[in-house]
Amino acid sequence: MIKLLLILSIIGLHLINAQELKPWAAALQNLTEQEKEVIVNKGTERPYTGKYLNNKEEGVYTCKVCDAPLYQSADKFNSNCGWPSFDDEIKGAIKHKKDADGYRMEILCANCNAHLGHVFKGEGMTAKNTRHCVNSISLNFKKKETKKEELKRAYFAGGCFWGVEYHLESIKGVKDAISGYMGGKMKNPTYQEVIRKNTAHLETVEVVYDPNVLSYETLAKAFFEIHDPTQTNGQGPDIGSQYLSAIFVKNDEEKATIQKLVKILESKGLKVATKIIEAKEEVFYKAEDYHQDYYEHKGSKPYCHAYQKRF
């Protein structure tokens, strides 16, 4: 009996120690069937469906199972592949292992071996020439706390808001770019009303940015460089009053900045058609959800907006 109790005691201590070594083990039991299929059985979630595909917030991506930090948001980029992509990992966080298919390189959490996805090199998508293709379902995200009062908003209309949003949200310091309507008197307009009725609204993008990282002037310069500020009847092939070029300024400082930039462009021979609209009381109306991050969801690039250096 004493021997039996001793053996059971040893087994009990072993189980306790094992649990101490792997405190995340219980989390495996709480995974959904879909999570188990990817994380445990090394499956893949469907492209363009992942929770973090279009996430642009600052923070750290951690392992769904053990919560170990894996990727910094600064290393995330848009690869148009359908899954979150990173061109670097937190040092020591990722394990690389030859995939069962014999040619791909699997990536796993170095702490708990949770399946994350695959890593590809030599594609030339970023300067680091690396793409970690990661399943959103394998990740958690811890947002960096930023005081709301530190962020500012700017409003630009330059043709179809899909393209303006696409280019401006890629600028470092931009937290979000939102497609919507501004400049008219109709409250809560719909897309069909804006394009078919005389609402006076322009397709406008609200840019939420961190002034500690990005100045209003730098943002405005980028706007002048991603569309044609000389076109008077729309933008590219999109013709109509809702597609006119305009900047809604919220204060005298913004107005002075835009006036300075317009003078620079005019000194270079450009006949600027962009309207400067004082909008201290103007209301921005967010467009329908299907307009947001349109090109990222579609997996393509703008057809009527392209970068051209002007400053």
Residues belonging to the active site: 160
75 DSSP 8-state letter: G
Which residues fall within 8 angstroms of residue 17, CB to CB, at 6 or more apart? Answer: none
CB 193 within 8 A of CB 285: no
Residue type, 52: Y
Helix (H, G, I), strand (E, B) or coil at 242: helix
The two three-digit tokens of residue 220, written as one number: 């405005």
Burial environment of residue 8 by CB neighbours within 10 A (0 to 12, 13 to 18, 19 or more): exposed
- Give the pairing of strands 285-286 and 275-278: unpaired
How long is the chain?
311
Helix (H, G, I), strand (E, B) or coil at 9: helix
Task: Please give the Cα distance from 118 to 130 (Å, whole number).
Answer: 11
State the angle between helix axes of 252-267 and 216-225 in degrees (0 to 180), rounded to the nearest 10.
Answer: 40
| Alpha helical stretches, state H, 149-251 | 161-168, 191-196, 216-225
Secondary structure element (H or E) that encloses residue 96, with its range: strand 94-98
Task: Please give the Cα distance from 203 to 177 (Å, whole number).
Answer: 13
Secondary structure element (H or E) that encloses residue 246, with its range: strand 245-249
Angle among Cα 45, 58, 26 to the nearest 5 degrees reads 50
